[in-house]
Amino acid sequence: NDDFGSRNAIIVANEQEKRKLKRQFSKDGIESERVFLFTEVKGLEFNEVIVWKFFEHFESWRSDSREFNKFKYNLLYVCTTRAREKIYFYDGEKINSFWERPEIKEHISISESPEVLDSFFGTDETDGEKIQTAEKYEQLGNYKQAREIYAKLKQPRLDLVAKVDALIYEEERDFANAGRIWFSLEQWENAGNDYEKAKLWEDAERCWDKADNYQRQAFCLEQLGKFEDVALLYEIREDWNEAEKRWRDLSNWEKVAVVCEKQKKCVEAALEWKKVPNFERAADNYCLANEHKDAVRCLLEVDNWQRIEGIYRQASTLSKFADLCESRENWTTLEKVLTEIYTQKGWKWVSANDGKRLASVQEKNGNLDNAINTWLDVNGKELYNLLKKSIILS
């Protein structure tokens, strides 16, 4: 027979016998992986086991010391406890005297008929049963044994064979080939992990992208030195905090400002817009943070008096806006604002000093007729001098 049950095994004494039996029980070019050395079976269990030439092996040692016998019988114990149902011993032509011992003989049967091994070589297992056995091998880390079973199924499962091949490559620390197999199986996380271990960062990055794991994808991009791509990736994923860190590392203040805005960090965004510089956007953010003085300072940088006026109007502080216009010598806007203030106040309540202030501004703007009217409304005592000046200018 060229095969035996997937839940059965043969235990041998040395590598030479192991290689010989593996070849003997090969099928379709696939050698049996369920031929084990004595030292390889600890912790494993099988339905049926053949122990191959156990006593013949030890007869060649030429020793009968107490320690030797202890070692031999310890191995014998390991072998006999591997079988759940049946255990067979094959020792060649000569039966060892061990089996003639009364305490042993009454518990065994000796046969030369190959039919006693029918159940061992039985092949009535379904593919489903074999797969269950192979999965148990996998769980124990016995990947070669699992692979053999998958490959010898009546309906071979190439996907399961490939999976075990990947596990074998991992065990051999050949992570590049393991990653390649996982990738072909669309096992993106496994492939990404193995490609990382092989330092194949581009392949790993592609896997993490397919696995929708952008943090690991970003890590691989960093290993490739693609720091801008890392920042953009965090932006796309709306991971604004990480995006901010990466753009700061790249000193890209405009991008830092944008992601700060996304996080409602208005003051921080304003500071970054000033670095760009973009004082209009900085002012927008200062206004959102109710930092109106800072917003005004930014707007002064770009002479946007219309927006500055809007800020003061919203705060109902037109008089302070007038002071600002005067300090910046913006006479045209100042005249308009003072006129509005005094009109709202009522001209009869405007003091002589206030009237003088407005008239002086109107003079600076060349609006002498308006200046005269202002004096008439608030301070007739100065009218003569103004008229005299008007005549001279005419």
- Tell me the angle at which helices 227-236 and 214-223 cross, rounded to the nearest 10 degrees: 170
Confidence of residue 364 (pLDDT cuts 50, 70, 90): very high
* Residue whose tokens read 């709202």: 344
Burial of 273 (0-12, 13-18, 19+ CB in 10 A): buried
State yes or no: pLDDT of 31 exceeds 80.
Answer: no
Which residue(s) pair with 89 in the sheet? 51
Rounded CA separation 259/236 (Å): 11
Same domain, 140 and 171: yes
Domain boundary at 186, 204, 225, which? 225
| pLDDT at residue number 390 | 65
Rounded CA separation 169/146 (Å): 14
The CATH number covering residue 260 comes to 1.25.40
Task: Work out the average pLDDT over 141-166.
Answer: 90
Q: Select from 336, 340, 280 the least CA-distant residue to 311.
A: 280
Q: Is residue 270 within 8 Å of residue 290, measured between CB atoms?
A: no
Rounded CA separation 90/114 (Å): 11
Number of structural domains in the chain: 4
Same domain, 116 and 28: yes
State yes or no: pLDDT of 380 exceeds 70.
Answer: no
Three-class SS of residue 117?
helix
Confidence of residue 293 (pLDDT cuts 50, 70, 90): very high
| pLDDT at residue number 379 | 62
Q: pTM (2 decimals)?
A: 0.71
What integer best gives the mean pLDDT of the chain? 89
Same domain, 234 and 333: no
Convert 134-149 into a string of H (helix), E (strand) and C (coil).
HHHHHHCCCHHHHHHH
Does residue 190 form part of some domain?
A: yes
Determine how β-strand 83-90 pairs with β-strand 8-12. unpaired
The CATH number covering residue 78 comes to 3.40.50
Same domain, 19 and 117: yes
Q: Encoding tokens for residue 175?
A: 């992570």
210-256 tens-digit pLDDT:
999 999 999 999 999 999 999 999 999 999 999 999 999 999 999 99
69-122 tens-digit pLDDT:
788 888 888 888 999 988 989 887 777 778 778 888 877 888 877 777 777 776
Domain span at 30: 8-121
155 vs 291: which has the higher pLDDT: 291
Same domain, 83 and 108: yes
Rounded CA separation 207/90 (Å): 52
Does residue 3 form part of some domain?
A: no
Q: In the chain, what percentage of residues exceed pLDDT 90?
A: 54
Domain boundary at 175, 203, 225, which? 225
Same domain, 380 and 303: no
Same domain, 44 and 117: yes
